[in-house]
């Protein structure tokens, strides 16, 4: 399997696939979540990404449940030193925004739920234009000084705002965002590649991409409108968004390359991300151990230059 990769300049070393904890307490109950976390660590991986918001919104989900499950697993397993633990602040209804006061309160809530003394990577879940960047960054600095946080990251930031945050950090000698969490996959490329990719590569910012499998579309699970019923939570949206000539062209390329490598479309889609310069670790979720092992095998899949070219051509916005 691939070697560890440094997350930005943080000193945090992670394996090239992150586990998305948004399923914990939602589509994976506590017992299944424990199985998944055990299997993830036993397979040699270490980056677990969650948020205080997960999963606020779906029926029966009030937010904080993912962190609570991870905390119970950490207490039971004693594997805190085996993982790089990442969570987020700013989007939980009870703890909105990035004011210093909210960040200070939210980290205490998260640490309590996670049953740990520190978070390895604390991420701004989204930009908060109502709070000066220097105020948020200074508070993150205090948390780092207190040993509650090791490094900070940004999620869902535009390139201009991330660039501004990096400038503020340098000019005012404040901690900088060492990672970015953008939406990015073989289908959804333009938003990241146009402005964010050049910036993060120039500045040495790590990238943990989410929706790495386009809500399951890139697994090949959805190929026709009738497949919407395969997921009550997202099937209809996936079909509406991705079942079109370009999406089907991408699936055809994934199928072709997967057959040559005795792999699955999901593995090829993740391997494409892992091979992309600037990407540290795409985030992927699973709700069964079998599904998890299938996803993690992508880290051992080495795509050729021709494979990558084929995928790039198939996924081009203007391809005929």
Do 175 and 152 touch, CB atoms closer than 8 A?
yes
Beta bridge partners of 121: 86, 151
Q: Which of 54, 177, 192, 210 is catalytic?
A: 54
Q: Quick one: which of 279, 309, 305 has its CA closest to 2?
A: 279
Helices (H), the chain: 30-42, 65-77, 100-114, 133-145, 159-172, 190-191, 197-203, 235-242, 245-261, 265-275, 289-296, 305-314
As a whole number of angstroms, the distance between CA 296 and CA 285 comes to: 10
> Any catalytic annotation for residue 187?
no
Q: Report in angstroms the alpha-carbon separations of 273 from 142, 183, 228.
A: 34, 12, 26
Contacts 24+ apart (CB under 8 A), 292-297: 292/19, 292/36, 292/39, 292/40, 292/43, 293/39, 293/43, 294/264, 294/266, 294/267, 295/17, 295/266, 295/267, 295/270, 296/17, 296/40, 296/43, 296/45, 297/263, 297/264, 297/267
DSSP state of 48: E
Tell me which residues are annotated as active site. Answer: 54
């Amino acid at each position: 399997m691939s070697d560890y990769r440094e997350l930005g300049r943080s000193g945090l070393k992670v394996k090239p696939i992150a586990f998305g904890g948004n399923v914990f307490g939602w589509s994976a109950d506590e017992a299944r979540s424990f199985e998944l976390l055990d299997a993830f660590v036993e397979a040699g991986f270490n980056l677990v990404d969650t948020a205080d918001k997960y999963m606020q919104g779906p029926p029966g989900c009030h937010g904080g449940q993912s962190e609570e499950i991870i905390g119970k697993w950490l207490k039971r397993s004693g594997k805190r030193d085996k993982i790089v633990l990442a969570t987020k602040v700013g989007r939980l209804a009870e703890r909105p925004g990035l004011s210093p006061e909210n960040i200070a309160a939210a980290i205490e809530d998260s640490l309590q739920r996670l049953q740990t003394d520190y978070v390895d990577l604390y991420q701004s879940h989204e930009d908060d234009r109502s709070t000066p960047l220097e105020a948020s960054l200074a508070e993150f600095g205090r948390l780092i000084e207190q040993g509650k946080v090791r490094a900070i990251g940004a999620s869902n930031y535009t390139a201009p705002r991330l660039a501004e945050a990096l400038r503020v950090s340098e000019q005012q000698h404040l901690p900088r965002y060492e990672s970015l969490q953008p939406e990015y996959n073989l289908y959804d490329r333009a938003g990241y590649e146009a402005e964010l990719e050049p910036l993060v590569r120039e500045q040495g910012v790590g990238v943990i991409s989410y929706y790495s499998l386009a809500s399951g579309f890139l697994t090949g699970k959805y190929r026709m409108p009738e497949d919407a019923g395969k997921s009550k939570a997202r099937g209809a949206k996936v079909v509406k968004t991705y079942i079109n000539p370009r999406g089907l062209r991408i699936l055809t390329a994934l199928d072709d390359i997967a057959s040559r490598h005795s792999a699955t479309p999901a593995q090829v889609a993740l391997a494409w991300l892992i091979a992309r310069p600037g990407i540290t670790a795409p985030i992927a979720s699973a709700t069964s151990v079998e599904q998890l092992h299938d996803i993690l095998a992508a880290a051992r899949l080495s795509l050729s230059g021709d494979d990558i070219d084929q995928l790039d051509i198939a996924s081009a916005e203007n391809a005929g």
